Amino acid sequence: MMDITLAGAGLALLSGALVGLLLALFGGGGSVLATPLLLYVVGVRDPHVAIGTSAAAVAVNALINLIGHGRGGRVKWACATVFGAAGLVGSFLGSSLAKQVDGQRLLLFFAVAMAAIALSMFRKPKSEGDPAVQITWRLTLRLAPLGFLTGLAAGFFGIGGGFLIVPGLMAATGMTLANAAASSLLSVALFGAATSANYALSGLVDWPVAGLFILGGAAGGALGLKGAGLLAGRAQLARRLFAGLVLLVAAYVAWRAVAG
């Protein structure tokens, strides 16, 4: 675990605020910068500790943002619960596998996942979706396997998995992008909690840094919830600009992983 200096604490707070802001604005892909920020800005040295710590912080930040979206009536609770519950087992299995992988190799895999997230954010939804969608047995049978596979990927890469959850929810249920982004936060919180708990069992979570990250994320999330309404007319442009940033960070993470 790292010794936290005053400067390090400030960087952790600012990094958390940035992730909280992006998570509230975009849902899917919003948490992907957490691990790179912990490694290359805050100064966490062990990739496994960075992943475990970011998972804990992102889980709490997602929960805070979920409450805000829930009050706004944007969360489809039944669909989100089926998806998230099925993914819990997958996220625990995925994170167990990731702990056995060499740290630098895991970062290379992480960079590939970041690139996939960025590319997925360039896509425009085929339709606006149905804002009145309701859970059925047919939808349940489609949501559960998708949730498990998404949880598996989220646990392995140590990410919230929103970039998979959002299109997964839309494809399985036909809900709108706004509903899917809000509903995805339940799964992000559950997958992050399962992943961080698994890493914590091996002593791979830096709790003081996670606490600072969470505090910053709460402030950033509050700004993001307000900004989500302002971006409503330019959401696709904003997502594409953010996707470009993620691609650049993915290239940097890959270079650092290869360079050792």
Boundaries of domain holding 26: 7-259
Whether 253 is in a domain gets the answer yes
Whose structure tokens read 């062990």?
A: 46
Whether 140 is in a domain gets the answer yes
**pLDDT over threshold 90, residue 90:** yes
Whether 171 is in a domain gets the answer yes
Residue-level pLDDT at 19: 86
**% pLDDT > 90, the chain:** 35
Whose structure tokens read 């982004």?
A: 181
- Evaluate whether 18 touches 218 at the Cβ level (below 8 Å): no
pLDDT tens for 172-190 read: 888 887 888 889 889 989 9
Whether 2 is in a domain gets the answer no
Whether 1 is in a domain gets the answer no
Whether 87 is in a domain gets the answer yes
Whether 229 is in a domain gets the answer yes
Task: Name the band, by pLDDT with cuts 50, 70 and 90, for residue 233.
Answer: low
50 vs 174, residue with greater confidence: 50
Instruction: Report how far Cα 258 is from the mean position of its chain's Cα atoms.
Output: 24
Task: Please compute the mean of the pLDDT values over residues 14-27 and round it to a whole number.
Answer: 82
Task: Name the band, by pLDDT with cuts 50, 70 and 90, for residue 94.
Answer: very high
- Evaluate whether 23 touches 31 at the Cβ level (below 8 Å): yes
Residue-level pLDDT at 148: 94
The first and second tokens of residue 185, run together, are: 């936060």
**pLDDT over threshold 80, residue 213:** yes
Residues 6+ positions from 202 with CB-CB distance below 8 Å: 48, 52, 99
Whether 47 is in a domain gets the answer yes
Name the domain count of the chain: 1
Report how far residue 251's alpha carbon sits from residue 260's, in angstroms, rounded to the nearest whole number: 14
Rg of the chain over Cα atoms, rounded to whole angstroms, equals 17
- Evaluate whether 192 touches 55 at the Cβ level (below 8 Å): yes
Report how far residue 120's alpha carbon sits from residue 110's, in angstroms, rounded to the nearest whole number: 15
Task: Please compute the mean of the pLDDT values over residues 158-182 and round it to a whole number.
Answer: 80
The first and second tokens of residue 76, run together, are: 């489809």
Whose structure tokens read 């929960």?
A: 63
Other residues' Cβ atoms within 10 Å of the Cβ of residue 226 = 12
Q: Is the pTM of this model over 0.95?
A: no
